[in-house]
Amino acid sequence: AQKITQTQPGMFVQEKEAVTLDCTYDTSDPSYGLFWYKQPSSGEMIFLIYQGSYDQQNATEGRYSLNFQKARKSANLVISASQLGDSAMYFCAMRSYNFGNEKLTFGTGTRLTIIP
Amino acid sequence: DAMVIQNPRYQVTQFGKPVTLSCSQTLNHNVMYWYQQKSSQAPKLLFHYYDKDFNNEADTPDNFQSRRPNTSFCFLDIRSPGLGDAAMYLCATSRGTGTGLETQYFGPGTRLLVL
């Protein structure tokens, strides 16, 4: 069974500061993918960044980077130079390399609020 | 260039009155998913279609059904909505190349209110 843990239910960060959202995972599968999604108050789940378990380098997408520490089973999202528009719910999720197992396992999310 | 479209964005129905939610996609993806997300919770997968093959999650109530008449469209039918079915319903798609690691792309969701 897979499990995602996000221990920060809410965070408040000053605008323009960097922020790290924590995510730890548990799986017995050797090959898996880790995803971060942003969900604004409008409800849409917006894909931010992906990290494969065999990727040697940490993924980056613009202001988003994923701090992947495989031995610790952590996949923290780092947002550099936060903006007011970053205020949203953030979900960490994972899937395994297993044809037919299409299920994304989500964490409980972190509500990020950016303060002007 | 909308990719996953859900209609309507807001749906109000009465207790016990059947309701259908719609999802369409322009990505030509093989896999389509329906998630239920209740307030302050993570999305919960109800079922998914891999092409025409329907895959139901074990804990999805029988009250929820789905249809996929073609690649582009997928419907969620709630046969007799109860108050506990009020939620955001999210449709998602992925390419379905068999690696199991593809990104899922979500639509804007439909908020269902049951009176």
- Tens digits of per-residue pLDDT, A31-84? 889 999 999 998 899 999 999 999 889 999 999 999 999 999 999 999 999 999
Task: Give the minimum alpha-carbon distance from B90 to chain A in angstroms, rounded to a whole number.
Answer: 8
pLDDT at position A68 is 96
- Chain A hits for B42, CB-CB cut-off 8 Å, are 91, 106-109
Contact indicator for B34, B89 with CB cutoff of 8 Å: yes
pLDDT of residue B98: 65
Pairing, β A88-96 against β A110-115: antiparallel
Q: Residue B98: which of B25, B29, B27 has the closest Cα?
A: B29
8 Å CB contact of B100 and A52: no
Please state the rounded mean pLDDT for residues B25-36: 94
Residue B84 has pLDDT above 70, yes or no: yes
Q: Which residues of A12-25 are buried (b: 16+ CB within 10 A; e: fewer)?
A: ebeeeeebebbbbb
Give the confidence band of B100 by pLDDT, cuts at 50, 70, 90. low
* Distances A81 to A14, A36, A91, B46 between C-alpha atoms, Å: 10, 18, 20, 37
